[in-house]
Amino acid sequence: MTNINAFGSRLLSELAQKKMSQLKLAQELGVSRTAVNKWTKGGMIDDGNLDRLASFLDVDKIWLKYGSQYASAQGETSPAARNINEVHLQESAEIVTWEWDLLTQKVQYSDNVEAVYGIRVSSNDEFWALMSDEAREKLVKGYSKIIREGGAHEMDFKIDRDGEYRWITSRATGVKGPNGKVTKLVGISLDNTERKSTELRLRKMQQYFDVLLAHITHLVAFTDVAGEILASNYESQAEKISYLELQSLLYQLVVNNPEWLEQMCATGRGQINFQGRTVNGFHHLDSDQQPFLMFELR
Identical fold at 72-193 and 216-297?
Answer: yes
Q: Report pLDDT for 88.
A: 38
Is residue 125 over pLDDT 80?
yes
CATH topology of domain 72-193: Beta-Lactamase (3.30.450)
**Structure confidence by residue, pLDDT tens digits, 134-147:** 989 988 998 999 99
- 265 CB contacts (<8 Å, ≥6 apart)? 225, 283, 291, 293
Residue 20 confidence (pLDDT) above 50: yes
- Assign domain 6-68 one CATH number from 1.10.150.120, 1.10.260.40, 3.40.640.10, 2.120.10.30: 1.10.260.40
> What is the spatial distance between Cα 90 and Cα 156, in angstroms, rounded to a whole number?
20
For residues 73-84, give the mean pLDDT: 38
Query: Domain-by-domain residue ranges, the chain?
Result: 6-68, 72-193, 216-297
Q: Are 74 and 63 in contact (CB under 8 A)?
A: yes
3-state SS record for the chain: CCCCCHHHHHHHHHHHHCCCCHHHHHHHHCCCHHHHHHHHCCCCCCHHHHHHHHHHHCCCHHHHHHCHHHCCCCCCCCCCCCCCHHHCCCCECCEEEEEEECCCCCEEECCCHHHHHCCCCCCHHHHHCCECHHHHHHHHHHHHHHHHHCCEEEEEEEEEECCEEEEEEEEEEEEECCCCCEEEEEEEEEECHHHHHHHHHHHHHHHHHHHHHHCCCCEEEEECCCCCEEEECHHHCCCCCCHHHHHHHHHHHHHHCHHHHHHHHHHCEEEEEECCEEEEEEEEECCCCCEEEEEEEC
Q: How far is CA 263 from CA 78, 105, 270, 293, in A?
A: 64, 70, 8, 13
Alpha-carbon distance of 136 to 170, in angstroms, equals: 13
Q: How far is it, in rounded angstroms, from Cα 249 to Cα 252?
A: 5
Cα separation of 95 and 100, whole Å? 17
**Mean pLDDT score, 10-23:** 89
Please give the residue that has the higher pLDDT: either 46 or 170.
170
Cβ–Cβ < 8 Å for 162, 170:
no
Residue 195: predicted pLDDT: 78
Q: What are phi and psi of 57, to 5 degrees?
A: -80, -10
Start-to-end C-alpha separation, the chain: 50
From the list 257, 244, 250, the residue with the least C-alpha distance to 292 is 250
68 pLDDT band, cuts 50/70/90, is: low
Residue 62: predicted pLDDT: 67
Q: What is the pTM of this model?
A: 0.51
User: pLDDT for 151-210, tens place per residue?
Assistant: 778 888 888 877 778 888 888 888 888 888 899 998 888 888 887 778 788 888 888 888
| 1 pLDDT more than 90 | no
What pLDDT score was predicted for residue 80?
Answer: 32
* Mean pLDDT computed over 41-52: 77
Rounded alpha-carbon distances, angstroms, from residue 121 to 60, 118, 125, 162: 28, 9, 9, 15
Most confident of 10-19, 43-52, 84-93: 10-19
Residues 6+ apart with CB under 8 A from 63: 10, 70, 71, 74
Q: Quick check: 211 pLDDT over 70?
A: yes
Q: What φ, ψ does residue 134 adopt, rounded to 5°?
A: -65, -45
Distance CA 115, CA 1 (A): 15
Least confident of 57-66, 224-233, 252-261, 270-279: 57-66
Q: Quick one: fold of 216-297? A: Beta-Lactamase (3.30.450)
Q: What is the mean pLDDT of residues 206-221?
A: 89
In this prediction, residue 157 carries a pLDDT of 87
Beta-bridge mates of residue 156: 169
